[in-house]
Amino acid sequence: MDILFQILIVAAILGAIGIVLGVILSLANKYLIVIEDPRINDVEKLLPNYNCGACGTPGCHAFAEGIVNGEVKKLSRCKPGKPDKNYNPILEYLKDHPNNDGSIVDVKI
Ligand code: SF4
């Protein structure tokens, strides 16, 4: 077999594999996407954002996620947080942005 023909076959096989994997990735992106509660990012912005882990989570995003999901019950777990700068603004934000059922996230300072 001619070497050029072999190169063309290999290129065609690799191209076909690339197309199949591209289609699979685009379908996965379309159907497996997880839409995160936008309040998580908003609450994260109100935290000190030191990502120090003193709250017992891997970082501020995980702590914000715990707050919004109702798993975190005390904002003071965030040790660098300040009442006026962090805790109270978070409580006010959550009061203005209730859960889908209308209930307010149960968290205290
Ligand atoms: S203790 Fe506060 S600043 Fe540190 S990671 Fe947790 S939420 Fe972020």
Q: Name the residue range of residue 58's domain.
A: 38-96
* Cα distances (angstroms) measured from residue 62 to each of 45, 88, 92, 94: 12, 19, 20, 17
On whether both 1 and 20 belong to a single domain, the answer is yes
pTM of the model: 0.75
Q: Which of 55, 57, 82, 85 for a ligand 1 pocket mutation test, highest count of atoms within 8 Å of Cβ?
A: 55
Domain assignment present for residue 16? The answer is: yes
Q: Which of 65, 79, 90 for a ligand 1 pocket mutation test, highest count of atoms within 8 Å of Cβ?
A: 79
8 Å CB contact between 79 and 57:
no
Domain assignment present for residue 91? The answer is: yes
8 Å CB contact between 35 and 69:
no
Q: Please indicate whether residue 89, judged by its CB atom, sits closer than 6 Å to ligand 1.
A: no
On whether both 26 and 67 belong to a single domain, the answer is no
Which atom, in ligand 1's list, is nearest to the CA of 53? Answer: 5
- Say what the pLDDT of residue 1 is: 67
Q: Write the pLDDT tens digit of every residue in 27-67.
A: 999 999 989 999 999 999 999 999 999 999 999 999 999 99
On whether both 88 and 57 belong to a single domain, the answer is yes
98 Cβ contact partners less than 8 Å away, ≥ 6 residues apart:
104, 105
On whether both 63 and 87 belong to a single domain, the answer is yes
